[in-house]
Amino acid sequence: MKESKILVVDDNKSVLSALELLLKGRCQFLKCISSPNLLITELQSRPYDVLLLDMNFKAGINTGNEGIYWLQRVLEVDQAISVVMITAYGDVELAVKAVRMGAADFVLKPWENEKMLVTIESAFRLSKSKAEVKKLQIKESQLIAEINRTDKNLIGSSPEWMEIIELVKKVAITDANVLITGENGTGKEMIAREIHRLSQRSKKVMVTVDMGSITESLFESELFGHKKGAFTDAHSNRTGKIETASEGTLFLDEIGNLPMAMQAKLLNVLQSRKVTRVGENIPFDVDIRLISATNCDLIKRVGEGTFREDLLYRINTIQIELPPLRARKTDIPVLADFFLQKYSFKYHKEGIKISDEAVKKMINYHWPGNVRELQHAIEKAIILCDEKILGPSEFLFKNEPNTNPIFAESTLEDMEKKLINAALKKQGGNLTAVAGQLGITRQTLYNKIKRYGLQAL
């Protein structure tokens, strides 16, 4: 309560004096006003946690419902504030009505000081709780907006890619389960997010679960949630990922890595659309749209007996097979330019271009890591470049002879040491310029110079 900010509104100066004596020193800020006509202006001038509001005033609205009127006005201005009504015994019925309309509580005149303090403490806690809920709602709306933004990484105009985009648009408006397959780095999660963004569930969250990273012992707790005390480390109640995704989308990434024992438990939930938390016996309904992804051949896994056929049918109403980057070569220059703009801005190296020879080299490369490898190649080239043009030697691909001297050393530390030393020489020992070129802080640069025993010119 010492952190609380309290406003008192009562036309009885004796009441104001009594509350000032009671609350002074017990809260962070206290203000008492005698006219409700100043109430809204005061609330707009500074934030308050608790408002003590009289039910009746000698001036102003004289309908016998003055407190109700001002309560409505207050809640229009600030829904997070907790309002405690102060009333005489004869107005208890009106006070109860006020609570139904949104007041936190009421106290009767004359009050007991201890009871008044307890009531204000409870009202303050309620106010803080409402503020936390508001913050969470804002964060959730921001998260949903971020998830549902048009993802600029979904770029490309090749026939192979446009076919995928058209299929995504058709599938998204339904609630059908979708299985996205393809090699690592082809953009399976981005496609899942695009399906969610275009769906009728886009105002809710998409919850992502990496199925390959969940141990069998934590599988049920992670997906279904648990009750406090359900097992040794269950120190509090926990909401499972499936429950969190209810009314939204559940994205199960790398579902091909799921052990058989877990597959049966997941299948049961998908069939019944019910979840039972660990430590509880009563199941509850969940409403999810399921999207799964894998780089495995699940049909082959079914034949080998390592993936349940009935689970495959359950998750595979629609299958979207993403093409590897080498199958959509006309998209490589566009993607490369996108990542070039993104990372040149990030590392404060605007104006960098990719030479035609470097573009040809990228088109002819087979990209086993697909779009993700292309992204990393562009980022690394921008970090290490000293010129405004990225040539073929700036891109060292797998199984290719090393032609760039910056990569000649065998360890990352050797490369970093050589890079810093080259930057020091180029910038004439200007540490601010060196830090800017490398995209690091001056303090980080100092630490690395000391670590590697380099000399600032």
| Count of the separate structural domains present in the chain | 4
In whole angstroms, what is the distance from residue 87 CA to residue 265 CA? 57
Q: Which domain holds residue 434?
A: 409-457
In whole angstroms, what is the distance from residue 385 CA to residue 379 CA? 10
Choose among 292, 296, 295, 272: nearest CA to 283: 272
Return per-residue pLDDT of the chain as tens, 457 residues: 788 899 999 888 888 899 988 988 889 999 999 888 888 989 888 889 999 988 877 655 545 578 888 888 998 888 889 999 888 766 777 788 888 888 888 888 888 898 899 999 999 988 888 888 777 767 666 665 555 554 455 888 999 999 999 999 999 999 999 999 999 999 999 999 999 999 999 988 899 998 877 877 788 888 888 888 777 777 788 888 999 999 999 999 999 988 888 899 889 999 999 988 888 888 889 999 999 999 999 999 999 999 999 999 999 999 999 999 999 999 999 999 999 999 998 888 888 999 999 999 999 999 999 999 999 999 999 988 888 999 998 888 866 544 444 444 446 677 778 788 888 887 778 888 888 777 787 777 877 887 777 876 6
- Do residues 205 and 112 share a domain? no
Partners of 105 in the β-ladder: 84
Q: What are phi and psi of 371, to 5 degrees?
A: -60, -35
- The burial class, CB within 10 Å (0-12 / 13-18 / 19+), for 235 is exposed
- Do residues 335 and 318 share a domain? no
- Do residues 128 and 158 share a domain? no
Which H or E element spans position 225? strand 225-226
Give the residue carrying structure tokens 């949903």.
144
In whole angstroms, what is the distance from residue 450 CA to residue 457 CA? 13
**Which CATH number characterizes residue 46's domain?**
3.40.50.2300
- Do residues 291 and 331 share a domain? no
Which residues have C-beta within 8 Å of that of residue 343, sequence separation ≥ 6? 378, 379, 382, 383
- Do residues 64 and 94 share a domain? yes
Give the residue carrying structure tokens 């091909």.
256
Give the residue carrying structure tokens 């990922």.
241
- Do residues 159 and 123 share a domain? no
Contact predicate 27/150, CB 8 Å:
no
Degrees to nearest 5, angle at CA 311 with 306 and 313? 115
- Do residues 336 and 447 share a domain? no
DSSP 8-state class, residue 248: S
**Which CATH number characterizes residue 347's domain?**
1.10.8.60
From residue 367, give the alpha-carbon distance in Å to each of 331, 352, 361, 397: 13, 23, 11, 9
- Do residues 50 and 30 share a domain? yes
Choose among 391, 340, 422: nearest CA to 155: 340
- Do residues 186 and 258 share a domain? yes
